[in-house]
Amino acid sequence: MKSFKYILIGFAALTLTTSCSKDQLETSPTTSVSGTTMTQSNDAAMISLNGLYRSMYSSGWSTTGNTHQCFGLSAYALMADVMGDDCIMSKQGSGWFWFDAIYNVKGRYTSSAWRSYDLWYAYFTYIANVNYLIAMEKDLDPSDIDKMYVLGQAYAIRAYSYFMLAQCFSRTYKGHESEPCVPIYTEPTSADTKGQPRATVQQVYDLILSDINKGVDYLEKSRMTSLNNDKSYVTYPVALGIQARIALTMEDWATAAKAAEAAIALGEYKIQPVEAGKFAINQSNFINTVSAANVMWGAHIIPDQAGMYASLYAHMDVDAALYAGYSRANKQINKDTYDRMGKDDSRRAWWDPADPNNGAGGYQQHKFHFSSLSTWEGDYVWMRIEEMYLTAAEAECMLGNDTKAQELLNTMVKTRDAAFNCTATGKELGKLTSDRTGSLREAIIDQRRIELWGEYGRVFDIRRLKQGFRRTTAEGWPDNANILLTNRPSDNPENWMWVLTIPQSEFDGNENMDDKNDQNNVKDE
């Protein structure tokens, strides 16, 4: 495990000092903390967490060749969105995210410049760091709510990290419980730490559940902490949101409903209306402003921490004349998905069917813009209260509580379209995402596709729903065999095309894994 240990141990100190790229991150308030000192006090632990959260929106997770598409959590959400059926990449442009969209990264696992490496590196780095903090638990005084707050964050972050790794490096939980997933590390690592074999999907999810349950418990009990608990941190409601996401993927409908509805019931966040005039460059809106009343979790970006070209908005904001602009690698919505909105739905402002750059493609997005292009500012939003309504609605539907599900769905969507009123019932979904059943669950998923476009990672929903999909030129996809996935089994929900290959560096350094028996299927089938 030598190679992998260096990633973990080096970054257990490095994240706490400089995060990903040293020359970029020296402004982070973590310059004096190392892996050996970060547990000496609650304040030191919080300094280490500040560095970890900073790394969640920083570039540098790959080597220099691809660093501009490796900027943490929002990059991985966009990766999973362009892998789906709703977020159209109109052109290759400079190449960023194009290879994710055409599923042409699996064979590149020997390189440290591609997706397998940077995603593995990022999430295992988060895990390595919080393992130091979790080691503090043995000395926990139940009356020390500040330490409990630190531990709650650490457990929730580890749960979230393993959840994301499981979604990317294995097939879905349901039906694949015995298949190999990723190695499990729960203790602080050192240069002598032995590499672990791949655990099963079930074993990884068992750890995820244990961690998120403890995270939720600790964070609820420590709500009166004296430590910083603004929206950049994983607080109690955010932990509930993560718990809801995990439960949804595991088809644990009761837990998904309970967690999402608990987050709603707190009353700390409010559904925000879509005001068309605000979704433009150099305007603040709830997609680029963490302080918005509906935002549960995100990162406030200040000028000296802006990612510049290595940022979400450089890839999304077509009016900024950056990667989405000058290279015309526009992000567009599937025409069919757009047409599922009512004619008076205010979210139509997020896309422009009349944009001259659309051509024969989909509709150009205006949902994501810099709040200030001159300073490269635009906050990262990782969780909104609207998601909780949609999650709760789907879970209640699957529990057979159609009336409750309708109520939750209508409450949210009516803030976008006053005429919306869903009276559908039932759970049936089509074999393909384009097939229509008219069920309540389908209506809920339709609204997830619209509301969370560009934010959540559409392919994660496609896979958990066990649907296939096809891209067509009629929907707005370019007439390009690569992007249309002509020779790939996207219509088969059991396929391996979306499962990332494990980076070769892991096999080189981990004696308990070998690339002959443990590598994921490099081919798509």
- Percent of the residues in the chain that have a pLDDT greater than 70, as a whole number: 91
* Lowest mean pLDDT segment, chosen from 159-168, 180-189, 312-321: 312-321
**Mean pLDDT throughout 114-123?**
92
470-479 confidence digits (pLDDT tens): 999 999 999 9
343-369 confidence digits (pLDDT tens): 999 999 999 999 887 878 899 999 999
**Mean pLDDT throughout 488-510?**
94
Distance CA 93, CA 78 (A): 16
Average pLDDT, the chain: 89
Distance CA 136, CA 132 (A): 7
Spatial neighbors of 177 by CB under 8 A, at least 6 apart, are 200, 201, 202, 205
- pLDDT at res. 6: 33
Element (H, E) at 262: helix 253-265
Q: Are strands 331-333 and 351-352 parallel, antiparallel or unpaired?
A: unpaired
Spatial neighbors of 333 by CB under 8 A, at least 6 apart, are 86, 87, 88, 350, 351, 362, 363, 365, 453, 476
* Lowest mean pLDDT segment, chosen from 11-20, 109-118, 251-260: 11-20
**Token pair for residue 454?**
């560009």
Distance CA 86, CA 475 (A): 9
11-54 confidence digits (pLDDT tens): 333 333 323 332 222 222 233 345 555 666 899 899 999 999 99
Residue 135 predicted with pLDDT over 80: yes
140-150 confidence digits (pLDDT tens): 999 999 999 99
Instruction: List, in sequence order, every residue forming a beta bridge with 516; answer none if it has no partner.
Output: none
Q: What is the pTM of this model?
A: 0.93
Residue 514 predicted with pLDDT over 80: yes
Distance CA 114, CA 67 (A): 9
The position carrying tokens 């089938």 is: 525
- pLDDT at res. 47: 92
- Kindly indicate the confidence band of residue 306, based on its pLDDT and cuts at 50, 70 and 90: confident
- Kindly indicate the confidence band of residue 182, based on its pLDDT and cuts at 50, 70 and 90: very high
- pLDDT at res. 359: 79
Residue 402 predicted with pLDDT over 80: yes
Give one DSSP letter per residue of 429-469, joined into a string. --SBTT-----HHHHHHHHHHHHTTTTS-HHHHHHHTT-B-
**Mean pLDDT throughout 496-507?**
94
- pLDDT at res. 456: 95
Residue 1 predicted with pLDDT over 50: no
215 Rama sector, left if φ>0, alpha if ψ -120 to 50, beta otherwise: alpha
Distance CA 506, CA 358 (A): 42
- pLDDT at res. 27: 23
Q: Which of 504, 4, 92 is nearest to 315 (CA)?
A: 92
- pLDDT at res. 525: 62
- pLDDT at res. 20: 33
